[in-house]
Amino acid sequence: MQPVCIVMIEDDEGHARLIERNIRRAGVNNEIVPFRDGTSALAYLLGPDGSGEASARRHLLILLDLNLPDMTGLDILEKVKANPHTRRSPVVVLTTTDDSREVQRCYDLGANVYITKPVNYEGFSNAIRQLGLFFSVMQVPETP
Amino acid sequence: MSGPTLMHAGYNPVLVALSVAIAILSAYVALDLGARVRGAAPGQRWAWVAGAAGAMGGGIWSMHFIGMLAFEMGMPVAYHLGLTALSLVIAVAATGVAFAWVNRAAAGLRDVLVSGPLMGLGVAGMHYTGMAAMHVPGNLAYSVVIVAASIAIAVAAATAALWLTFRQHGVRQKLLAAGVMGIAVAGMHYTGMAAATFTVEEAGAHAAHITALGQDQQTLALAVAGATFAILFLALFASSVDQQRVQEEYRASEARFRAAIQAVRGVLWTNDAEGRMMGEQPGWAALTGQTRAEYEGFGWASAVHPDDAASSLAAWAATVAAQRDFVHEHRVRARDGSWRHFAIHAVPILRAGAIREWVGVHTDITEQREAEAELRDSNEELQRYAYIVSHDLRAPLVNVMGFTSELEETRGEVAQALRDHPQAGRIDADLGEALGFIKAAVTRMEGLIAAILRLSREGRRAFRVEPLDMTTLLQGLADAQHHQTDAAGARVNIAPDLPEITADRLAVEQVFANLLDNAVKYLDPQRPGRITVTAVTAGSNRVRFDVADNGRGIAARDHARVFELFRRSGVQDRPGEGIGLAHVKALVRSLGGRIDVTSELGQGTTFSVTLPRKAATGQAGQAGPVSLAAE
């Protein structure tokens, strides 16, 4: 079985580093591919042609921040969940807001998990660690 | 020749014509004066009634008298002065009462049936009194049938004439009414004369005398007629002067009315009974630049904004069908091509129970609408701003807190590495102290940001209004806080008769929970705490709830400040972020109410929340969703 690749789309370098550290601390050693903006992340996920063929044989898990400089994470979520090659990849939304309407919107668009980045660091690292446990037991399906 | 001789009498045609002319003219004058009564000032009404009665009664009498003089019966005739005068009085009195009756303010068409016969009988009474005043050397006999016919003519004619008076508008109808009345009066007179049979015994003896008398009679008739005409013309002149005054008043009133409409930036228009715009509409034409051909019928709708036109036409049709007042709003293309926002109010003008026409006013409320939209925009912007700021402030905090925790992890490793270092304990303590301050500051900062976020969300929440029993609601809040209240040794009294209001339950609960919480929090330990909630009616549709305590009070200089975000007053010995009252104020405003504070340091504080009995749905709900561009 091909190992799962974690795609992390997060524009805040500090957040990205904290997330990575916590994932590693949770004992997850999968490859992490970081992106700082939506455009390059989409180019990677859907390929330069935007068809999604590029992800056809990948096992991906997407960590998605909603607040990106060039687009909102919701745009990416929508495209990923609409593409037949990527729609089965789990998407974990990580953001600063706990606005109920936004949470609802993410789930409506097909997000698998929604995690609020708490300032309370204990809660945050716990969540990430649990996510790490989640990764370790999870079978990410190979995208067709 | 022996025995009674039947007199063959004739009429002087000139005098007959004169008598009929007088009858018609006097009727016309009477109608003209009578028409003044309704428009006259209360004090002048009876003067016009008296004038009309004088003209009519005098005219009838004059006609009758000339008619008598026109009667050439070939024998000397003398008139009894007293009875002749009485006949004049009867004519004027009967006519006066009849006119007065139909001109009462409350008079209806039915009253003509009272006044008509009264006047008819008066005319007949006058006629036969006048006949009785006539002294002839022969005998006078009446045919009962023809007398009855003459009275019937008098009654019918008077009724018809009064009825015409009632519905006459223009000069032509007035002339028609006067003609009918005049001819009827003359007809009654000559019918009455036909009822009389004169017999004389010594006709021949007086033949020469008659000729001379005939001359006198003509002179008398002309004198009476001349005097009557003079009086009638004077009356007409008075009437026309009054008419001019009335028209002047009417013109002034209309000018005043138009100026008033313009002063409130209104455009006046009229529609016919079926709701079609007809005729000259100077206001509408000036506003839209439409020509008469363009706006007539329902053409006006083409000057209404395309989005509003169909709904406006439908609403107007429904209003016309239901015959009720029309209240509407739509946009109209002004002459310069700009769209203006108008509030429309139209009312049907009734006449005798049916709609005669519609009168409406378009009032320009463009500025008002623009100001409202601007206010809404800036409100939304403010909320969006608070939302964005709080989120963007939170992102760096995640880093500060995150890496502080990373440092804490590292602190353990540093302590391990410095295990044998003489300063190890101090270094670790320094690190711990620094990290502790950073974490406390971040926690506090996060609390403040969360509060701003909550405030901005509160502004966006759509209110759901429902009837609230305020006594139950407040008692529930007080019960929920009873631990704190008991701990403070305080008592909360909720008035048992608080009125019911219609509002959003959650918002109202938050307002009063905050106020009660504050009241308990800031009691004066020197005395047992007493907190009361009472209500008084404020204005027609508002209730003022007073939450009063005998706590430490708020200094006068802080009364406004306590409602500001993050501001607190007095000794800072209680936990809190300085959010509560700012939140309360925002909520109360969204509920369409206001909050005030009266307080004296060391005595106590009363927060007064004035809320509408029937709440609007709240601006919060109308603002619509705010875009989440920040995310």
| pLDDT over threshold 80, residue A143 | no
Domain ranges of chain B: 5-248, 264-364, 383-460, 465-614
B441 touches chain A (CB under 8 A): no
A9-41 pLDDT per residue, tens: 998 888 888 888 888 877 778 889 999 998 999
**Exposure pattern of A46-79 as b/e (b: 16+ CB <10 Å)?**
bbeeeebebbeebbbbbbbbbbbeeebbbebbeb
Q: Contact B474/B494 with Cβ under 8 angstroms?
A: yes
Closest in A66, A97, A119 to B401, CB measured: A119
pLDDT in tens, B183-210: 877 887 888 777 777 776 554 444 444 4
Could you report the per-residue pLDDT of B225-238, keeping only the tens digit for each? 788 888 788 888 88
B264-364 CATH pick, 3.40.50.1220, 3.30.450.20, 3.60.60.10, 2.60.40.3120 = 3.30.450.20
Q: Which residues of chain B have a CB within 8 Å of the CB of A67?
A: 391, 395, 630-631
Residue B623 and residue B628: Cα distance in Å, rounded? 14
Is the whole model's pTM more than 0.90, yes or no?
A: no
- Would you say residue B220 has pLDDT above 80? no
- pLDDT tens, position by position, B86-120: 888 888 888 888 878 877 766 677 788 888 888 88
B-chain CB neighbours of A121 within 8 Å are: 401-402, 404-405
Chain B residues in contact with A117 (beta carbon < 8 A): 398
Give long-range contacts, CB 8 A cutoff, 24+ apart: B532-536.
B532/B492, B532/B493, B532/B494, B532/B495, B533/B474, B533/B492, B533/B493, B533/B494, B533/B495, B533/B498, B534/B495, B534/B498, B535/B470, B535/B495, B535/B497, B535/B498, B535/B499
Residue B556 distance to chain A (closest CA, Å): 38
φ, ψ of residue B613 to 5 degrees: the values are: -65, -45
Question: Average pLDDT, whole number, for chain B?
Answer: 80
Cβ neighbors of B206 (< 8 A, separation 6 or more) are: B75, B76, B137
Q: Which of B614, B606, B492, B480 is nearest to B545 (CA)?
A: B606
Give the DSSP H/E element, type plus range, for residue B49: helix B45-70
Using a CB-CB distance cutoff of 8 angstroms, which residues of chain B are in contact with residue A120?
401, 443, 446
**Closest Cβ–Cβ partner in A67, A72, A119 for B446:** A119
Residue predicted with more confidence, B207 or B559: B559
Q: What is the DSSP letter of B206?
A: G
- Nearest by CB to A67, which of B406, B446, B631? B631
- Give the position of tokens 């909550």: B454
Q: Do A97 and B391 touch (CB under 8 A)?
A: yes
Handedness of CA B151, B154, B158, B164 (dihedral sign): positive
What pLDDT is stored for residue B107 in this prediction? 67
The reply to whether B440 touches chain A by the CB within 8 Å rule is no
Please report the pLDDT score of residue B465 as a whole number: 82
Q: How confident is the model at residue B214 (pLDDT cuts 50, 70, 90)?
A: low
| Whether A119 and B630 lie within 8 Å, measured CB to CB | no
Q: What is the DSSP string of B570-621?
A: S---S---S-HHHHHHHHHHHTT-EEEEEEETTTEEEEEEEEESB----HHH
Q: Is the pLDDT of residue B627 over 50?
A: no
**B547 confidence band (pLDDT: 50, 70, 90):** very high
DSSP codes joined into one string, A58-127: --EEEEEESB-SSSBHHHHHHHHHHSTTTTTS-EEEEES---HHHHHHHHHTT-SEEEE--SSHHHHHHH
CB count within 10 Å of CB B600 equals: 12
> Which tokens belong to B190?
């000559």
Contacts of A15 in chain B (CB under 8 A): 395, 398-399, 402
Kindly determine whether residue A117 and residue B630, on different chains, have CB atoms separated by under 8 Å.
no
CB-nearest partner of A119 from B398, B457, B628: B398
Q: Are the CB atoms for B138 and B199 separated by under 8 Å? A: yes
pLDDT at B16 exceeding the cut of 60:
yes
Nearest to B478 by CA among B446, B452, B512: B512
Q: Positive or negative, the Cα torsion across B8, B197, B185, B148?
A: negative
Is the pLDDT confidence value at B40 over 90? Answer: no
Range B107-144 burial, b when 16+ CB lie within 10 A, else e: beeebbebbbbbbbbbbbbbbbbbbebbebebeeeeee
pLDDT tens digits, one per residue of B294-311: 998 899 999 999 999 999
Nearest C-alpha in B relative to A74: B631
User: Under DSSP, is residue B362 helix (H, G, I), strand (E, B) or coil?
Assistant: strand
Closest CA to B36 of B247, B189, B227: B247
Compute the distance between CA of residue B280 and CA of residue B261 in angstroms, rounded to an integer.
17
DSSP-assigned beta bridge partners for residue A9: A35, A64
Average pLDDT on B388-405 reads 83
Mean pLDDT of B592-596: 89
Helix (H, G, I), strand (E, B) or coil at B373: helix
Distance from CA of B449 to the nearest CA of A (A): 11
Interface of A with B in 91-130 (CB under 8 A): 95-97, 99, 101-102, 117-122, 124-125
Quick one: tokens of B281?
């509409």
CA–CA gap between residue B299 and residue A7 (Å, rounded): 65
Provide CATH code, domain B465-614: 3.30.565.10
Here the tokens at position B199 are 């017999």
Computed from CA positions of residues B563, B565, B568, B573, in that sequence, does the dihedral angle turn out positive or negative?
Answer: positive
- Which residue of chain B comes nearest to A73, CA vs CA? B631
Check CB contact under 8 Å for A67 and B391: yes
- Residue ranges of the domains in chain A? 5-137
Nearest to A21 among B396, B406, B446 (CB): B406
Each residue's pLDDT tens digit, B240-278: 888 888 888 888 888 888 788 777 778 888 888 888 998
Supply the pLDDT for residue B203: 46
Q: What pLDDT band is residue B606 in, cutting at 50, 70 and 90?
A: very high
The pLDDT of B309-333, averaged and rounded, is 89
How many other β-carbons are positioned within 10 Å of the β-carbon of residue B472?
Answer: 12
pLDDT reported for residue B626: 30
Whether the complex's predicted ipTM is more than 0.85 is answered with: no
Of B391, B404, B457, which has the smallest distance from its Cβ to A96's Cβ?
Answer: B391
Fold of the A5-137 domain: Rossmann fold (3.40.50)
List C-alpha distances in Å: B335 to B49, B296, B332.
52, 17, 9
